[in-house]
Amino acid sequence: MPIQTPLILLTGPLGSGKTTLLQHMVQSSALRLALLINEFGEFGIDGKLVKGKNLQIIELEGGCVCCSLMGEFEAALEEIIETATPEAIVVEATGVAEPDALVFDVSDLIPQIRMDGVITIMDADAMVAFPDVGHTIQVQIKAADLLLLNKSDLVSPHQQQSLQTRLRTLNSSAPIIPTTYCQVDPELLFGLVHHQKVQPAEYSHQPEYESFSYRPTGPLQRSCFERLVKELGPEIYRAKGFVPFPDRSYLFNYVNRRWTLEPLSEEETGLLVFIGSNIKPKEAQIRESLRACEISQVAPSPFTNAAS
Ligand SMILES: Nc1nc2c(ncn2[C@@H]2O[C@H](COP(=O)(O)OP(=O)(O)OP(=O)(O)O)[C@@H](O)[C@H]2O)c(=O)[nH]1
C-alpha cells in the first residue's frame, strides 16, 4: 500500500464561502497543502485570491470535476502528488458539483489518495431566501461529513436554529457548525473521517446555470459600475471578478443581490464573470452597460473642463 495523501473536498452552493474557507485553511494550517480549484465559468479567479507559503495551486476551468473534467481531475491529482508531495490536498469544487460521484471515484481510482472528508458550506442567507433546496444542493448536504452553516451573521438566531433543523433532516450524522466568514477551528477541518457512501447513480448536470465573462479594455467609472450592479436583475445570482477603477483594482463579489468591492493590494487585469439562470437574454444588455462604464466611453462632464 503506497503512502496515502489525505484529500478534503470543499463543496456547497455558488457563493456560499468555499474560497473564504480555503483562505482560512491556508492561513491557519502549518501543513504543506496542495489546492485544486475548479471554478464555474471559463476564467479562474479564486486561484488568484488564495495566497500562502507552502502552497501549490492547480486550477481546472471550463467544466466540472464531478463529471466532464473527471479525467483531468485524476491526472491533476496524480501530478500534484508526484511534483509537490503535499501533506494534504484540498479540492474546491464548483458550486454546481455533485460530490458523491467524485468521492466514490477518487478513493477507488487513485490508490495514493485517502478521502478524508467532504465539507459542505451552506449559505444561511440564501437558505432563508430560497427555502426549497434543489437536487444538487441536496446531494451536497447529504454527502457532507461536516456541514458549515456559513453567513450566520446575516440571519437571526431563530432562523439559524430552524436552518439547522432542516439540514438535519437531509444529513443525520454530520456535525453542523454555524460560522461567519468560515471561521472555524482548523483542528475540526483536518482529519475528518469520511463515511463511504454507496455508488451514485449515473447523472448529467442540468443546465441550471449559465455564465458569461467580460474583460474591460480600461478603467471603469465607479459610480456607473455601482449603478449597474444595483440594477442587476434576479437572473444574476453570482458575479465576481477584478474591476479596474481609476485609483486601483478592486475585488467584486456579488451573491444573491448582496455585493462588496474590496481594494486589492496588487493590480489585476480586469475580468468579470456573471452566473445565473436564464441569463442569456440579459447578456447583451449587461455587456453594453459595462462598456458604457469604461472611462474611454463615458462622456466628459461639462464641469470637469470648466477650469481648464
Ligand atoms: N456576510 C458574510 N459574507 C460572507 C461570509 N462568508 C463569505 N462571505 C462573502 O460571500 C462572498 C462569496 O464568498 P466566496 O468564498 O467567494 O464563495 P464561494 O463559495 O467560493 O463562491 P463560488 O466559488 O463562486 O461558488 C464573498 O464576498 C465573501 O466575502 C459570511 O459569513 N458572512
Substitution candidate for ligand 1 out of 149, 180, 255 with most atoms within 8 A of CB: 255
Do 166 and 192 contact (CB within 8 A), yes or no?
Answer: no
- Cα 111 to middle of ligand 1, angstroms: 33
- Cα 202 to middle of ligand 1, angstroms: 30
What is the tens place of the pLDDT at every residue in 43-74? 678 878 887 777 888 887 766 666 666 678 88
Asked if pLDDT for residue 222 goes beyond 80, the answer is yes
- Cα 291 to middle of ligand 1, angstroms: 27
Same domain, 226 and 145: no
Count of structural domains, the chain = 2
Same domain, 24 and 166: yes
User: Which atom of ligand 1 is nearest to 16's Cα?
Assistant: 19
- Cα 189 to middle of ligand 1, angstroms: 18
Same domain, 64 and 183: yes
The pairing of beta strand 210-214 with beta strand 236-244: unpaired
Confidence class for position 201, pLDDT limits 50, 70, 90? low
Q: Residue for cell digits 463511504?
A: 196
Asked if pLDDT for residue 306 goes beyond 50, the answer is no
CATH code for the domain of 219: 3.30.1220.10
Question: Residue 203: inside a domain, yes or no?
Answer: no
Question: Residue 92: inside a domain, yes or no?
Answer: yes
Asked if pLDDT for residue 10 goes beyond 60, the answer is yes
Same domain, 158 and 43: yes
Same domain, 184 and 246: no
**Cell numbers linked to 9:** 473536498
Asked if pLDDT for residue 307 goes beyond 50, the answer is no
Compute the distance between CA of residue 43 and CA of residue 203 in angstroms, rounded to an integer: 25
Same domain, 264 and 173: no
**Residue 30: what pLDDT?**
87
Length in residues, the chain: 308
Same domain, 174 and 229: no
CATH code for the domain of 56: 3.40.50.300
- Cα 125 to middle of ligand 1, angstroms: 11
Same domain, 51 and 154: yes
Same domain, 78 and 184: yes
Prediction ipTM score? 0.99
- Which residues span the domain enclosing 257? 210-293
What is the CB < 6 Å shell around ligand 1?
Answer: 12, 14-20, 46, 95, 150-151, 153-154, 180-182, 238, 240, 253, 255, 260
Give Dmax over CA atoms of the chain in angstroms: 78
Residue 28 has φ and ψ, to the nearest 5°, of: -105, -5
Question: Residue 158: inside a domain, yes or no?
Answer: yes
Substitution candidate for ligand 1 out of 9, 11, 14, 19 with most atoms within 8 A of CB: 19
**Residue 245: what pLDDT?**
96
The pairing of beta strand 5-11 with beta strand 236-244: unpaired
Mean pLDDT of the chain: 87
**Residue 198: what pLDDT?**
52
Question: Residue 70: inside a domain, yes or no?
Answer: yes
The pairing of beta strand 236-244 with beta strand 271-276: antiparallel
Question: Residue 301: inside a domain, yes or no?
Answer: no
- Residue 168: its H or E element: helix 157-170
- What is the pTM assigned to this prediction? 0.90
- Cα 17 to middle of ligand 1, angstroms: 4
What is the tens place of the pLDDT at every residue in 142-192? 999 999 999 999 999 999 999 999 999 999 999 999 999 999 998 899 877
Same domain, 117 and 227: no
Substitution candidate for ligand 1 out of 20, 39, 184 with most atoms within 8 A of CB: 20
User: Which atom of ligand 1 is nearest to 151's Cα?
Assistant: 31
Same domain, 181 and 244: no
User: Which atom of ligand 1 is nearest to 95's Cα?
Assistant: 25
- Cα 177 to middle of ligand 1, angstroms: 16
Same domain, 91 and 229: no
Do 159 and 124 contact (CB within 8 A), yes or no?
Answer: yes
User: Which atom of ligand 1 is nearest to 21's Cα?
Assistant: 15
Compute the distance between CA of residue 208 and CA of residue 228 in angstroms, rounded to an integer: 24
- Cα 270 to middle of ligand 1, angstroms: 20
Radius of gyration over alpha carbons of the chain, in Å?
A: 20
